[in-house]
Amino acid sequence: MGGGYDSVKTIKGKFSAARYKGQMGCESSISKATELPDLHKMRERAQLLRSEFLDSFGRLEAEVMQYIGKTEVKATSSTPFSQKLAALAKARDRFKNPKRLDVRIAAIRELLPVRADIVHSVLELILIFDGQTTSMKLQFRNSSDCERRPLTLTHDQLAIIIRRLNQLAGQFSHQRLKEAAPAARASASA
């Protein structure tokens, strides 16, 4: 009854390893030759990308606010962004090409849930190790909506969204308004 091959310690070790292996997501062990990622640098890179996203959305919102001022639409700086877009959509007859305005507003509206998730969450990093390489995803769990599924993006996906926001801000800044009626110009110069 001594400590043979299948002693209690050996069996406990096998069960423990089997139980924790599945829970921890370590399907393959990390060899000593594999270099571990620098988590501090990865988090810093992710935070910089998140900051770029917020800056890009801020630029886009500034462009929208300029047109709210130009069209004299009733909206203040404290009005929610989605309501500012709705107010601009109602003033579409003041734009030279209202169809372009509609397309741009629709594109911005598609990005509003992404903005909400990124703004109202703590950034979490998800590390994925396939036995050879480690990859990372960014996860945003919306704090104000617990029922909502977390938004998970790669660096590349977030970079694409940032480029799209910058593109929309540039396009929005080139929107042209219809000229004021001649009677309105004459009374303004008098």
Looking at the DSSP assignment, which residues form a beta bridge with residue 141? 122
Residues in the chain: 190
Domain ranges of the chain: 38-178
> pLDDT of 76-98, one tens digit each?
888 899 999 999 999 888 889 88
Mean pLDDT across the stretch 56-61?
95
How much is the pTM? 0.72
Q: Which tokens hold the place of 157?
A: 């996906």
CB atoms within 10 A of CB 182: 8
Rounded Cα distance between 37 and 121, Å, is: 24
For the CA atoms of 160, 166, 169, 172, the dihedral, rounded to the nearest 10 degrees, stands at -60
Residue 3 has pLDDT above 50, yes or no: no
> pLDDT of 113-170, one tens digit each?
999 999 999 999 988 888 777 788 999 998 888 788 999 999 999 999 999 999 999 9
